[in-house]
Amino acid sequence: LSISITTAGEIKIETSEFIKYDFEDLINLDQKEIIKLFQEVDLLLLHVLCGNQLSKLYFEKDRHPFFRCRRRACRPVQRISLYKNTIFDATKLPISQTLEILWQFSCRRSNSDTAEPLNVSSETIKYFLKLFQASLSFFIDTNSNKIGGDGIIVHVDETVITTRKYGRGRHRPSNSVSVIGGVDIHSRKVFLKFHTSRSRSDLYYFLGNFIERGSIIHTDCLGSYITIN
């Protein structure tokens, strides 16, 4: 997966071919078909190692698919969930239903609008919402690399993201997080990082670590930038 920004300033995410499946077709596949598709694009494991290489999947009612090792050295019998360390391991819901919750989240549907047609509790939806948000934060934090270069223009800006109940009430630091981002206008590559403040020292750290030397940096008029060279 790669992230870039178009000349119109829109974020462009390039993904695997399977993302181009019509969503209705995807969720209407049975469990084994979805698993096979995800294994083909390395989203799920084809095998695991447990002394031996385990590639045969076992399916049991009301359990996640799993690999099983029958070696005596692994007594009692080792069972390794196919969904281990994935979002699908966090619930007993069918994989197709978890994908539908993810789709509703990407469409910015409310918890109630998501829970009712799927016949799941609002608490389940809230749990997944937090899980998806944490996953996005991790992805952004681990996929930001240096951009720019000698004579290349980089646009930099920062913002504060805050949450308030019903969009009302005071702006409180405990409900807010600051984000700084940059765009290489030549390659359209970007970086996004969370940070604690917009002080000169913090901005200097991020500019030095995520923008190549010799870049031409365009920023807004925030006072913290004035003395940074």
- Which domain, by its residues, includes 102? 88-142
Tokens of 39: 């294994």
Please check whether residues 80 and 93 belong to one and the same domain. no
Please check whether residues 63 and 106 belong to one and the same domain. no
Based on the number of CB atoms within 10 Å of its own CB, is 156 exposed (0-12), middle (13-18) or buried (19 or more)? buried
| Neighbour tally for 13: CB within 10 Å | 9
> What is the 8-class DSSP label of residue 9?
S
Please check whether residues 40 and 70 belong to one and the same domain. yes
Please check whether residues 130 and 166 belong to one and the same domain. no
| Neighbour tally for 198: CB within 10 Å | 16
Phi and psi of 157, rounded to 5°? -150, 165
Q: 228 in a domain, yes or no?
A: no
How would you write 158-214 as a 3-class SS string? Answer: EEEEECCHHHCCCCCHHHEEEEEEEEECCCCCEEEEEECCCCHHHHHHHHHHHECCC
CA terminus-to-terminus distance, the chain: 34
Please check whether residues 82 and 31 belong to one and the same domain. yes
Angstrom distance (rounded) from CA 58 to CA 52 = 16
DSSP per residue over 17-73, as a string? GGGGS-HHHHHTS-HHHHHHHHHHTTSS-S-EEESEEE--EE--TTS--EEEE--GG
> So what's the pLDDT on residue 151?
92
Q: Mark which of 114, 142, 170 sits at the end of a domain.
A: 142
Based on the number of CB atoms within 10 Å of its own CB, is 81 exposed (0-12), middle (13-18) or buried (19 or more)? middle
> So what's the pLDDT on residue 152?
92
Please check whether residues 37 and 60 belong to one and the same domain. yes
> So what's the pLDDT on residue 142?
78
Sequence-ordered list of residues with C-beta below 8 angstroms from that of 156, at least 6 positions apart, any chain? 180, 181, 182, 183, 207, 211, 217, 218, 219
Angstrom distance (rounded) from CA 203 to CA 180 = 8
Please check whether residues 29 and 68 belong to one and the same domain. yes
Number of domains in the chain: 3
Please check whether residues 19 and 79 belong to one and the same domain. yes
| Neighbour tally for 1: CB within 10 Å | 9
pLDDT digits (tens, 9 = 90+) for 113-162: 888 888 888 898 898 888 888 887 777 777 778 889 999 999 988 877 77
Q: 4 in a domain, yes or no?
A: no
Please check whether residues 138 and 188 belong to one and the same domain. no
Please check whether residues 170 and 108 belong to one and the same domain. no
> So what's the pLDDT on residue 224?
64
> So what's the pLDDT on residue 20?
53
> So what's the pLDDT on residue 4?
54
Q: 69 in a domain, yes or no?
A: yes
The stretches in the chain having pLDDT less than 50 are 1
Please check whether residues 75 and 93 belong to one and the same domain. no
Q: Mark which of 86, 107, 134 sits at the end of a domain.
A: 86
Please give the angle made by the CA atoms of 157, 159 and 160, to the nearest 5 degrees. Answer: 165
Angstrom distance (rounded) from CA 214 to CA 117 = 54
Q: 229 in a domain, yes or no?
A: no
Q: 7 in a domain, yes or no?
A: no
0.75 exceeded by the pTM? Answer: no
Please check whether residues 99 and 67 belong to one and the same domain. no
Instruction: State whether residue 16 is helix, strand or coil.
Output: coil
